[in-house]
Amino acid sequence: MTTAAPGPRTRTRPVREDSAAAPGRTTTGTTTRGTAALLAALLGFAVITIDVSAVNIALPGIRADLHSGMTGLQWVADAYTLMFAGLMLSAGALSDRTGARRAYVLGTALFTLASLACALAPGLGALIVARVVQGGAAAVLMPASLALIREAYDDARRRARAIALWTVGGSVAMAAGPVLGGVLTEHVGWRAVFFLNLPVGAAILALLTKVAPSPRRPAPLDVPGQITAVLTLAGLTFAVIEGGGAGLAALAVAVVSALTFYVTEKRHRAPMVPLTMLRDRTVSVSLAVGFAINVGFYGVVFLLGLYLQQLRGMTATTAGLVFVPLAVLITGTNLVSPRVAERFGRRPVVVIGQLVLSLAMFALLPLTADTPMWLLVLLLVPTGLGGAFAIPAVTAMLMDAVPGPRVGTASGLLNALRQTGGALAVALFGTLLSDHGGGTFSLPGMRVSLTVAGALLLATALLSATFLPNKRNPS
């Protein structure tokens, strides 16, 4: 589930602009350069989104080929998501400093090379390292993609339409990823999931040659804050996945890093995350909602991908096709949600969306190895509706709650916490599956995982109903 969030932090005082930047600007959005920027942004957003859900379906194939246990599969999924989440916090500033187009070129090139390394990985360790690099490149691409659109379309109405297309593209990519991952894994092999990124990366780089160079703006980098943020997320995830003495040591690292992050952000003159912003209830609750929704959605895709292939013996293609209704529901619901929020207010939309997604978690609890497929597909309906219904409204709420200069920061923080929710869901749920199944998939482990996700969503729904304002979208 994806939704448009305003782009990276921008400043009104340009320091310098790359040569030949001005002629490439468009005020109508109808020029070739404007179209090229939109296509490049959409393709980049789609490919970094597909890499999350498609790889989840490819995990059983990776396990068989590289002889990995559940822990290894968790790291294949989370190595990407963790770096994506951790570096997202300062990626907007990097885009400003280097210029959006240059950042996008570098991010695309690095993502493409990392995808090649994933496809050619001789073993699990090499694959995980390549996934780390992929995630870092994806973090650079996300804010730069929106910055490209903002620069290409000066007209507010045309820019809004372009961002809407960008949003729908991401939604389709997230939902269609399991289908694509399943087809490629079964008929070509799991490595094809990564090889697919190569022609897409080449197409993006070709499109960028038609995009005007971007202005550079002063944007201080909070290096200590960035390092401690990554260490906190990595330590916490390692503790959940590995457990034991190593897990306790990692947890200690996470706690120390989190405290250091707090002190650093409090004292830094240009912090990545202004702590005063988090004191606003709307901001803090909105961030919690984004985190919880991704725990539920990413968790279900991870769990059901293993359930369908390992417990029910489905092929990767058939397992991917089970998620087709999600693709349709998520895309349609993302488009309908803003209209409903405009009529009834955002808070009811956010609360109802979480309650529906929570219901989806509990509705999946009775699943067995013999559950009819038509019933499973029916039970996936609230999964597709819930988060896709809530995310556009909660994003709009968050953007309204922060001053203009902080919009990029808030957007980056929301995306970072959503990715963190997905990473921790894979880490925790994979561990629960192993604990209950002796290292293999188990229904008891899946049920405990779904219960945790459902309870978390109920809690954030209560917070939303209590603390969020009820504003309608502006007409």
CB atoms within 10 A of CB 277: 18
Give the pLDDT confidence of 15-67 residue by residue, as tens digits.
443 433 333 444 444 466 778 888 998 999 899 988 888 898 899 899 999 98
**Domain match, 288 and 253 both:** no
Q: Does residue 366 have a pLDDT over 50?
A: yes
The CA distance from 254 to 74, in Å, is 19
**Domain match, 169 and 40 both:** yes
**Domain match, 257 and 335 both:** no
**Domain match, 428 and 460 both:** yes
Region 71-75: mean pLDDT is 89
Confidence at 473, pLDDT banded by 50, 70, 90: low
Residue 12 lies in a domain: no
Alpha-carbon dihedral angle through residues 312, 314, 316, 318, given to the nearest 10 degrees: -120
**Of 12-21, 100-109, 277-286, 293-302, where does mean pLDDT reach its minimum?**
12-21
pLDDT of residue 13: 41
pLDDT of residue 168: 74
Residue 15 lies in a domain: no
**Domain match, 473 and 331 both:** yes
Q: Which residue has the higher pLDDT, 143 or 128?
A: 128
Q: Residue 241 is encoded by which pair of tokens?
A: 């996945």
CATH number for 126: 1.20.1250.20
Residue 4 lies in a domain: no
**Domain match, 461 and 316 both:** yes
Region 410-431: mean pLDDT is 88
**Domain match, 81 and 173 both:** yes
Residue 8 lies in a domain: no
Residue 2 lies in a domain: no
pTM of the model: 0.81
pLDDT of residue 351: 96
Confidence at 331, pLDDT banded by 50, 70, 90: confident
pLDDT of residue 304: 92
pLDDT of residue 31: 61
Alpha-carbon dihedral angle through residues 232, 171, 334, 327, given to the nearest 10 degrees: -120
Residue 236 lies in a domain: yes
CB of 449 closer than 8 Å to CB of 302: no
pLDDT of residue 17: 38
The CA distance from 295 to 453, in Å, is 6
Average pLDDT over all residues of the chain? 84
Residue whose entry in the numeric block shows the structure tokens 């978690």: 361
Residue 406 lies in a domain: yes
Total domain count for the chain? 3
Give the pLDDT confidence of 301-318 residue by residue, as tens digits.
899 989 999 899 998 888
**Domain match, 257 and 157 both:** no
Q: Does residue 436 have a pLDDT over 80?
A: no
pLDDT of residue 52: 81
Residue 20 lies in a domain: no
Domain that holds residue 387: 276-475
pLDDT of residue 283: 92
**Of 32-36, 189-193, 289-293, where does mean pLDDT reach its minimum?**
32-36
Q: Does residue 143 have a pLDDT over 60?
A: yes
pLDDT of residue 159: 73
**Domain match, 103 and 205 both:** yes
**Of 45-59, 109-123, 142-156, where does mean pLDDT reach its minimum?**
142-156
**Domain match, 153 and 236 both:** no
**Domain match, 324 and 361 both:** yes
Return all residues near 393 (Cβ < 8 A) that are at least 6 apart.
337, 338, 341, 346, 349, 350, 353, 473
Confidence at 384, pLDDT banded by 50, 70, 90: confident
Confidence at 219, pLDDT banded by 50, 70, 90: low
Return all residues near 245 (Cβ < 8 A) that are at least 6 apart.
none
